[in-house]
Chains A and B, each alone.
Chain A
């Protein structure tokens, strides 16, 4: 019997604690879809009956649809921008050795640990001082600062196993530099790139503080939701919208994880011998 199972015996309440922990974590989130299907304008038990009318009302809400469109534009732009920057950073970190490498890596990762609201306020100050109008573009730039560290950490793990000898083998077999990039480099690191795109898109979709400070008159979805919460009657619609976003996020994160594992397997098995 291992030490761990022995400990578990001594601590019989541990599984109960874990169950409670998950309940506490996920119950509120589970209530979201439940009330979004409830035929009542208030979020109280007992449930009044089943309805999909809140979802139907979303489709006719042009302000909400505009906000969703804004979020999509911002999300796509942010994921592309931060992934491209992340590719450059990850390649530099994994391929080359240079002076100040650790400092550079640390500074790129730093926004992860800075209070977001402070970053948002400072960005707002600079944007206003420069006389730039607040728009989706300022949101995109602000969120990119925040997403590059995520992109980089996903990409570094994808690039780490990529050995230069794969590219050399391709040249050696007669392929050109461009052909090598297309036939070897890109396919091998593709899963990492796709998973970086998905992660940064998901983060951008959920991001509120930067969007709230920098979006001006064009709200993204989270900013729109925040505005709706002032009106009690709009709550079920918000819950329905929230449910849709929740499902989308979970789907995307699942896909990301699948791709990340595939990328890891690929790069690992190429360079570890059995």
Chain B
């Protein structure tokens, strides 16, 4: 995280009647940080973004932008600019006029204005397309226009509301790379709202996962994927095998549990951890389980039987039944070694690393109506 805070959200709540869109949210986003708000629809991420932009007025709390309390400021007086989900390209203006829209109020000389518009178009790789009409643009080009139109204002913070969700998969992946490169080049704070966990993982310096108007966890992509704090966070970020485990003992920050057939495992306590009746939930990602072939040996092994198989091209998803486990295990194997040829019913052995287990805290009860 960057050293200087750019956005500080202090105890912000937003109620619609008795519906809590945001429930006492606090977080700090650093200067030059690429920060993502990730969560399912209705989790409050867009409301939070729109509150930063000034389109929503929180019921309580304060938002500081670069140290300035900003809730009293209208959107046109905040140093933030937004890329809208549908891009909101002005249909009666061409590309250059769209990009120059906000500059008009700055009363620059015609030459300066043209230069800034030209630079912004270069930045998003739309060089020479300034005269295009809005309806002549493809989805990807519209997105670039929306980006250029916002960046040309030299905002302190760029807000992106699901900017890639309208693009097809291939274009989306290209734009992800470009967005990241662009953010590094301009060096300003980007705040991205998305429901796509891969997008958040690939782009962000840090991610805040939100459920029900609250922040469940804020961490780097790697930490949030590998060390999710709660079961819901773990589940939202990707596949996870959940197991019920019995607490054997606690020592400082470590808990040792009996994870059924996986044996005794020692785990770090997550924040807000509490065992119920001496039982806890632990998880292990499907890709952390590995198939063992023929003479392969591993320090920690389990025997199982393939119950189901799904072929995904580069990987195969396996469902493996293990005696003594309530649920079958999910595994992901690359197809280099022939996992895609294993028949359903085949007896296999799998290896695991006890270090790969995470202890998951209970999710807070859902209080919204």
In the assembled complex, the Cα of A166 lies from the Cα of B142 at a distance in Å of 14
In the assembled complex, the Cα of A130 lies from the Cα of B150 at a distance in Å of 59
Which residues from 167 to 214 on chain A have a C-beta closer than 8 Å to any C-beta of chain B?
168-176, 179, 183-184, 187-188
In the assembled complex, the Cα of A188 lies from the Cα of B138 at a distance in Å of 20
Choose among A165, A267, A274 the residue that contacts B88 (Cβ–Cβ < 8 A): A165
Q: Is B267's CB within 8 Å of the partner chain A? A: no
Contacts of B150 in A (CB 8 A): 172-173
Interface residue tally for chain A (C-beta within 8 Å): 25
Choose among B81, B85, B142 the residue that contacts A172 (Cβ–Cβ < 8 A): B81
What 1/0 mask marks residues of chain A from 140 to 174 whose CB sits below 8 Å from any chain B CB? 00000000000000000000000101101111111
- Whether the pair B90, A166 counts as a contact (CB closer than 8 A) is yes
**How far does the Cβ of B145 sit from chain A's closest Cβ, in whole Å?**
11
Given contacts A165-B84, A269-B134, A270-B89, whether A175 and B76 have CB atoms under 8 Å apart is yes
Q: Is A273's CB within 8 Å of the partner chain B? A: yes
With most chain A CB atoms within 10 A of its CB, the pick from B89, B92, B134 is: B92
Contacts of A168 in B (CB 8 A): 55, 75, 82, 84, 88
**How far does the Cβ of B222 sit from chain A's closest Cβ, in whole Å?**
33
- Whether the pair B88, A166 counts as a contact (CB closer than 8 A) is yes
**How far does the Cβ of B104 sit from chain A's closest Cβ, in whole Å?**
8
- Whether the pair B76, A171 counts as a contact (CB closer than 8 A) is yes
- Whether the pair B90, A184 counts as a contact (CB closer than 8 A) is yes
Which residues from 22 to 36 on chain A have a C-beta closer than 8 Å to any C-beta of chain B?
none
Given contacts A173-B101, A174-B76, whether A271 and B86 have CB atoms under 8 Å apart is yes
- Whether the pair B91, A269 counts as a contact (CB closer than 8 A) is yes
With most chain A CB atoms within 10 A of its CB, the pick from B54, B84, B85, B138 is: B84
Contacts of A270 in B (CB 8 A): 88-91, 134
Contacts of B153 in A (CB 8 A): 173-174
- Whether the pair A173, B166 counts as a contact (CB closer than 8 A) is no
Q: Is B135's CB within 8 Å of the partner chain A? A: yes
Q: Is A91's CB within 8 Å of the partner chain B? A: no
In the assembled complex, the Cα of A6 lies from the Cα of B138 at a distance in Å of 38
Q: List 12 A-B contacts (CB under 8 A).
A: A169-B84, A172-B80, A173-B101, A173-B153, A175-B76, A184-B90, A188-B90, A188-B92, A266-B91, A266-B135, A267-B91, A274-B138
Which 7 A-B pairs have CB atoms at the shortest separation, nearest pair first?
Answer: A173-B102, A269-B135, A270-B91, A169-B88, A165-B88, A171-B75, A266-B91
User: Residues on B close to A: CB < 8 A?
Assistant: 53-55, 74-77, 80-82, 84-86, 88-92, 101-102, 105-106, 134-135, 138-139, 142, 149-150, 153, 166
User: Residues on A close to B: CB < 8 A?
Assistant: 163, 165-166, 168-176, 179, 183-184, 187-188, 265-267, 269-271, 273-274
